Structure 1
């Protein structure tokens, strides 16, 4: 049975000491369309509606899918070029005359595909590796690759030559392209070396002919063909190449759009709406080698006519983001909570027009209550959304907005459309409400497996295609609470401690700008709690004051035994704290 919170109860009995004890394991499923009235539900999700859903066989498993979907990724760009050829696709900060429309991108993608095929011999199933910053040439190289039925390999632009060697050796690409600093690193690798090509060369070759092809090649591409290999962060061992299919990318764009549409139609009165004459637009700062960046560029933007504004090169900057919001009339903010903290608390926030921002979206990290209060103060009526997923699920898993955001702001929401979520014990059985276990996700967004690593694939992908994540969580009231990544768990004297709740408490302190909690070794307890804290400008909190603050809300064993103050925390290119570095530095510090 199910209720309108999106829970499915899987009846089961367990025996304890010979007595039958009823348990109520949960499967979260999306039922958000039940919030709509009959007419709206029929228009959106009924037969031939844009979000009609049905069950089909996907790789041998019955799976809920969207009926009205593109057959593969290149079809999404072709559709955008046909529907809105003159709508801006890519815009560049400080370069107003360089905008690229969907129609122009479609023509250029065809020219890129021709060069990749004719000059470099790329064919269906071949890999094309790219290590480069976000840019026009990078986006077009992806489109050209996928249009041939080839597989794009996203090499992390921050990797060293040795790390790049690993990615290249694993995927054996037909061609390797680079730009900027990553190009120099590629040329230092043992596996690539002089054979590395510049994206500038590819662009010059594609735009040189007086009459380049302007139609995408006629290549047979199946939905479950590989589209991209994206490397996981690799918390232990070397990064693995998660293989995502064309179906995965198409699904990503549709489930996000359906969740957003229902939230817009069922949200509270007074919600912000972008002016009708303003194109939906967002800063494009997530790197293309990351699942969030690739999905936005290849699925969301062409499917829904979103303008992506590329910021100036360099590190993410709050004032630059506010300026682009003002100049390009951005309607969406995408990022991680750290980005939003810095924008909302920037001393020049009021100097920029943010009135057309209607939606704020994030993923992978929950919002602290203080941040939600800050949104209500600075951007009243804005729709704040969050989600939980990972590379292996094409970013899909849970979706938080509307009533879940109002009632359960510290959660990561209910199951996203067409996705299913369970919390399971170490024996693989689903757990009842409130119990902490390993998060499992199933649905059309689940990846094909790890490239060239069937053993690692078998460890995380069950025969019925449930992905076994490395994260802990619990289900309460039909939503998922993310406790912590498994590697972040602190075990102090036998007590499990999840850093996220301590971090939430710390950032609510009026003198704290940012905080991260890690475990440090202890001779008898095993581990102790350490907080690394960034004070607000002009503030000087003491360790004892922060301990007292934490103790007022949390159990004594969760109060940080150690507090370190820093000017900043180390973040990776997607805006997440690199806890590994903090742990290594703490371990190496003299005691």
Structure 2
């Protein structure tokens, strides 16, 4: 039988000896070694920060005057790393003195990205407390589930999410609901503000954040990420990006010497991609984050930010890039400094890659595959892999190992399909308050059992299918079973099934196939309104099809592939 296949990173072997020594040699930023991590030998970065707050402290002392946060429509307003460090200390003081927050306590937030939101993260983590990132689009019922799971001592919010927080059972039961504006006002009004956040005795394997992810049941679980996980994210991404830039094809765009790297900050902080960008990448590499205007994503606003702030990288989901590249006024904005594009969560269609080649020739594109449970780490698709294996999700990221295993946990040889497993310093601590789910997700030697199936071929990973037919809409994971449960609660619906259907810009849209009860009269609007009353807007079906019955196979399972096709000829779409 062929030997089991394991993907591991060998990107530094493409470098000459001098450059490799400069990047990865003893004492270098990306020096690696094997250490014990929670009882398992694991490859780690030797020169890492001891915890997340230390990364901001390092930026505040090393590059104090460098811009950390900039804001759309306010060219004269900016927050430096040193200012953010001082404000984080003030936030920590208020959180401790006014709300009694200390090490291990949970602090929850539901809010759009913003200065106050980011500073709350820093203040909370500086106390050794745990940040609970609630999805700002959740309904009060969904918020109650997350709050009940994490048990935070206080709830912070702003804008519409603050209103929804006030309508939760937790608020009615006495958990304080506080505006981020109120917290900020208290922090800046301190008469004797601290110069630095407190030393909270933080260990790198202490929990830092609870971020919600849906498992096979479709109910959100609280993936608990450690300080080590978040620190590791910045370093593995930095090393992968450095090697890609040094080994890329001739003509690849580069950031000019003396120009600060800058990115629009569009990914929400309750996503691992947004939190890691703000907490790890920015302080580690002096990255300026530009916050877009409040409200829905706007492609022209992002192009204007690129022009006004000289953005050097775009970070987002393919939906964002489609809208920007195809915008009729694209040519009116200066995008000449954009050297890299980073994404994850959804595949790049060939047409999108072609658009990049046409509109931003020479830009370096990286699409990552990972999940909240691995702090976004897994595989990278860029450079040679994107050219030679465009349908894959790429090769292993630095320090990460990837295997495909059978249902008994045995690693499979190349070419065979099995469950994707990921190991490394980015693997989470477990699901908060759910030992059973944690035991199911983590092997004894801390490999994460994903819900994805794939195969390894020629050093890259190909995904074959996803458990529960996950729908990825504009970068948001939508688990059909959660919507299906809501649909069948309707007194007029006898059966229902949810699938994803292709969409040029969003990647996929949600489609519900509904079987009405005998005698019931339903419209598409009624079905959509029923879902919208309980679930976030991105989960509301864009398409509703009515059928007399769902197609089941002999084993009693719905054949979803038949529902992704056009409705049968002659059938009405409404009852």
| Partner residue of 1:236 out of 217, 220, 226 | 217
Q: Residue 467 of structure 1 corresponds to which residue in structure 2?
A: 448
| Partner residue of 2:541 out of 574, 581, 584 | 581
Q: Residue 300 of structure 1 corresponds to which residue in structure 2?
A: 281
Does residue 226 (structure 1) correspond to residue 175 (structure 2)? The answer is: no
Structure 1, unaligned stretches of length 5 or more? 1-21, 490-498, 504-515, 522-526, 537-571
Distance between the aligned counterparts of 2:129 and 2:430, measured in 1? 17
CA shift, 1:170, in A, is: 1.4
Question: After alignment, is 22-31 or 99-108 more displaced?
Answer: 22-31
Question: After alignment, is 467-476 or 252-261 more displaced?
Answer: 467-476
CA shift, 1:483, in A, is: 2.8
Question: After alignment, is 47-56 or 227-236 more displaced?
Answer: 227-236
CA shift, 1:97, in A, is: 2.5
CA shift, 1:272, in A, is: 0.6
Q: Residue 60 of structure 1 corresponds to which residue in structure 2?
A: 39
In structure 2, the CA distance between the partners of 1:587 and 1:70, relative to structure 1 (3 Å rule), is farther
8 Å contact kept, 2:339–2:364: yes
Report the TM-score, using the length of structure 1 for normalisation. 0.81
Q: Residue 247 of structure 1 corresponds to which residue in structure 2?
A: 228
Q: Residue 189 of structure 1 corresponds to which residue in structure 2?
A: 168
Q: Residue 93 of structure 2 corresponds to which residue in structure 1?
A: 114
Look up the SS of the partner of 2:353 in the other structure: helix
In structure 2, the CA distance between the partners of 1:528 and 1:307, relative to structure 1 (3 Å rule), is closer
CA shift, 1:345, in A, is: 1.2
In structure 2, the CA distance between the partners of 1:399 and 1:104, relative to structure 1 (3 Å rule), is same
Q: Residue 437 of structure 2 corresponds to which residue in structure 1?
A: 456
Look up the SS of the partner of 1:276 in the other structure: coil
Distance between the aligned counterparts of 1:321 and 1:254, measured in 2? 27
| Partner residue of 1:282 out of 253, 259, 263 | 263
Q: Residue 141 of structure 2 corresponds to which residue in structure 1?
A: 162
Look up the SS of the partner of 1:409 in the other structure: coil
CA shift, 1:583, in A, is: 7.7
Q: Residue 525 of structure 2 corresponds to which residue in structure 1?
A: none
Q: Residue 59 of structure 2 corresponds to which residue in structure 1?
A: 80
8 Å contact kept, 1:399–1:412: yes
8 Å contact kept, 2:65–2:82: yes
8 Å contact kept, 1:367–1:410: no
8 Å contact kept, 1:368–1:410: no
8 Å contact kept, 2:371–2:377: yes
In structure 2, the CA distance between the partners of 1:587 and 1:484, relative to structure 1 (3 Å rule), is farther
Q: Residue 19 of structure 2 corresponds to which residue in structure 1?
A: 40
| 1:165-192: CA deviation from partner (whole Å, max 9, x where unpaired) | 1111111112211111111111111112
Cα-Cα RMSD: 2.7
Matches within 5 A, 1:7-156: 22-156=1-135
Q: Residue 257 of structure 1 corresponds to which residue in structure 2?
A: 238
8 Å contact kept, 2:263–2:288: yes
Report the TM-score, using the length of structure 2 for normalisation. 0.83
Q: Residue 193 of structure 2 corresponds to which residue in structure 1?
A: 212
Distance between the aligned counterparts of 2:355 and 2:264, measured in 1? 21
Q: Residue 488 of structure 2 corresponds to which residue in structure 1?
A: none
- Count of residue pairs the alignment pairs up: 504
Distance between the aligned counterparts of 1:317 and 1:114, measured in 2? 36
Distance between the aligned counterparts of 2:151 and 2:16, measured in 1? 52
Distance between the aligned counterparts of 1:217 and 1:323, measured in 2? 39
Structure 2, unaligned stretches of length 5 or more? 485-496, 507-531, 549-572
In structure 2, the CA distance between the partners of 1:379 and 1:237, relative to structure 1 (3 Å rule), is closer
8 Å contact kept, 2:545–2:574: no
Q: Residue 200 of structure 1 corresponds to which residue in structure 2?
A: 181
| Partner residue of 2:394 out of 413, 416, 419 | 413
Distance between the aligned counterparts of 2:318 and 2:393, measured in 1? 13
In structure 2, the CA distance between the partners of 1:331 and 1:418, relative to structure 1 (3 Å rule), is same
| 1:368-415: CA deviation from partner (whole Å, max 9, x where unpaired) | 222112111111111011110000000000112222122222221111
8 Å contact kept, 1:165–1:192: no
8 Å contact kept, 2:216–2:467: no
8 Å contact kept, 1:319–1:346: yes
8 Å contact kept, 1:369–1:410: no
Distance between the aligned counterparts of 2:498 and 2:465, measured in 1? 16
| 1:66-90: CA deviation from partner (whole Å, max 9, x where unpaired) | 0000000000000000111111101
Distance between the aligned counterparts of 1:535 and 1:365, measured in 2? 11
Distance between the aligned counterparts of 2:303 and 2:128, measured in 1? 39
